[in-house]
Structure 1
């Protein structure tokens, strides 16, 4: 068998692969062309993600398909019988692959290094095993580059959100770099947080904040939005307008708020059973344009959204307590949603030049 072209590709071009899935598929296809019988392969990388410590991609030789699998209990191919995030089809595929002979290499140094594994339709010969080991040695540099990019992306997404992280990675690190976008905005925060933080130990306060953020951020992401900021006990999120019509973004924001209220109701019930007070909150929704980009000092930047729409939604949330409502909606937002809303009159908001028509959602 001849591996020269595969090894040359690993040295010269593999580091530019757009992702782990494409690198795995390309290496697998090249090995098949080189004469090594493969049924499939797997590539596992350690990534500092808040929820997933390691990510594994599975490649199927017969059609070149690659899927990502989660929940592996052990490293590499030792857990090929685990459930895939792709449901029954993924489980059937894993069972098929796991039935074949396995060869796996830890690429680089240390037990937490990337692993590259292969499954054959028959046991690999000593010559084929040597060839696969040689491929693993040549894969050290491109996989290190891939892991570094994956680590950077995961860190930025964890702290900035997926859309904002992509913009930071794509743009220059300079002030005044950004764009004006239209979005449905959501601003929500807890009531009585200052009193709670002064009367409870820090660990209890942090636990309560994490529970609250889980129940507001989860629905935001589930309905296509993105959390831009955690501000003390507050959350600023956006649902960008796509395709010219704001209705989809506004309806998604309303559904996210409804889901968050349901989640908080369950949380409050659990807290009551533990003898803890509930966590009341207020939320405001608005539709408008904002500058989405870099601001800050010359050598310390923040990627965020600023503008009149951001100011209005935060001021509108401040009306929740005096009006006795959990959710308030601006007239601009109300005009674009298909939901049935209840008028609450026109109100002057602190620091906002024009009075704002205010609505709320029907209570169940």
Structure 2
């Protein structure tokens, strides 16, 4: 007995597809070729992401276009991941949406279809068979998406891509040039000893939201959280480091504005401010794996990392929240104020130090 083309395709070819949108459009086109009338389709996958609860791909057979809709954690659709697909499909054509769970478990993928009319019993059975045969390739795509989302959440997009694409071995990495941003809260250790642990976490989250999201907004990547501090990089693209340096400085300015607003909010609640220090430097780093034989960390090391951390340590004695190295100052047209040349602990040569205008 010859299988319908949609089922044969799911068995033979779907496992090699790179993404869920290709599976949805390919399956929909083959179902139409098998005689099932479709006016649209939707595929929903759960996503283990800190912000996104699920992703829904929406397919139109008339154009072949696939659009993506996101369901955010804590949002109205988070508890009903198929709602986005059903609502969109019901706006396309009359009829009842046919829905199948492709697999087992609470987070199993969901397939929704709608036709120009209500589906017959035979057509609905064909759609159910397609969902059963789609369970295996969709499970593989969901596992791949879960791994990628988890790595991106803990490492960042750039670092996650390199971890996935390279051997899990020590000494696997590359030397890159980047603008480095090192940030740290001031006096937070003493503060954390006087407030409840939940308040400590809330303050840290608020701080990391301001500095971390500012870094991402301007194309950087948080490489490491360290207690109440972080290290971020803005890799240099091409020959000139100007764009990376300018992006890092814009991120610092945005974070400073965000922290000023946060301190106003905290003051209104009777809470102390969160003073901070940020340093920005430009240099070469070794970006890759270090660690024990069976426990690795993907990070950045090198003299430039040492310098930016020591530079941040000058924020307190210089009474400035933001310090910029001479290497960055030489590559940017952003207005800076010179603070002279200073010796840095453990660094052989003195460093020209600048700050942002008030």
TM-score with structure 1 setting the length: 0.92
Provide the rounded CA distance (Å) in 2 between the counterparts of 1:298 and 1:360.
42
Say how many residue pairs are matched. Answer: 352
Deviations 1:197-228 (A, max 9, x none): 22222111111111101111111111111000
Change (3 A) 1:255 1:95: farther
Provide the rounded CA distance (Å) in 2 between the counterparts of 1:95 and 1:190.
51
Comparing 153-162 with 94-103, greater Cα deviation is found at 94-103
Name the residue aligned to 2:224. 229
Change (3 A) 1:3 1:131: farther
1:102 aligns with 2:79: no
Name the residue aligned to 1:85. none
Name the residue aligned to 2:303. 308
Name the residue aligned to 2:266. 271
Name the residue aligned to 1:53. 53
Match of 2:167, SS state, is coil
Name the residue aligned to 2:340. 345
Aligned 8 A contact 1:183 1:287 in 2: yes
Change (3 A) 1:180 1:98: farther
Provide the rounded CA distance (Å) in 1 between the counterparts of 2:90 and 2:121.
25
1:155 aligns with 2:160: no
Q: How does 1:102-141 map to 2 (within 5 A)?
A: 102-141=97-136
One of 293, 316, 328 as aligned partner of 1:333? 328
Aligned 8 A contact 1:156 1:165 in 2: yes
Name the residue aligned to 1:79. 84
Q: Which runs of 5+ in 2 are unaligned?
A: none
Task: Tell me which stretches of 4 or more aligned residues in structure 1 moved more than 6 Å.
Answer: none
Provide the rounded CA distance (Å) in 1 between the counterparts of 2:175 and 2:357.
33
Match of 2:92, SS state, is helix
Deviations 1:69-124 (A, max 9, x none): 12362535433477xxxxxxxxxx76743655411101112343110111212222
Aligned 8 A contact 1:187 1:236 in 2: yes
Deviations 1:237-283 (A, max 9, x none): 01111122211111111111111111111111111111110001010
Name the residue aligned to 1:12. 12
Name the residue aligned to 1:88. none
Q: Which runs of 5+ in 1 are unaligned?
A: 83-92
User: How far is the alpha carbon of 1:9 from its aligned partner?
Assistant: 2.0
Comparing 25-34 with 135-144, greater Cα deviation is found at 25-34
Name the residue aligned to 1:38. 38
Provide the rounded CA distance (Å) in 2 between the counterparts of 1:98 and 1:236.
51
Provide the rounded CA distance (Å) in 2 between the counterparts of 1:333 and 1:100.
62
Comparing 72-81 with 294-303, greater Cα deviation is found at 72-81
Name the residue aligned to 2:250. 255
User: How far is the alpha carbon of 1:128 from its aligned partner?
Assistant: 1.3
Deviations 1:282-320 (A, max 9, x none): 101011110110000000000001111111111111111
Deviations 1:17-43 (A, max 9, x none): 111112112111222222322222111
Aligned 8 A contact 2:181 2:232 in 1: yes
Provide the rounded CA distance (Å) in 2 between the counterparts of 1:286 and 1:155.
29
Match of 1:220, SS state, is helix
Change (3 A) 1:200 1:141: same
Name the residue aligned to 1:286. 281
Match of 1:248, SS state, is helix
Cα root mean square deviation, aligned = 1.7
Provide the rounded CA distance (Å) in 2 between the counterparts of 1:257 and 1:209.
17
Name the residue aligned to 1:215. 210
Match of 2:52, SS state, is coil
Change (3 A) 1:248 1:81: farther
Provide the rounded CA distance (Å) in 2 between the counterparts of 1:81 and 1:9.
25
Aligned 8 A contact 1:76 1:116 in 2: no
Aligned 8 A contact 2:85 2:112 in 1: no
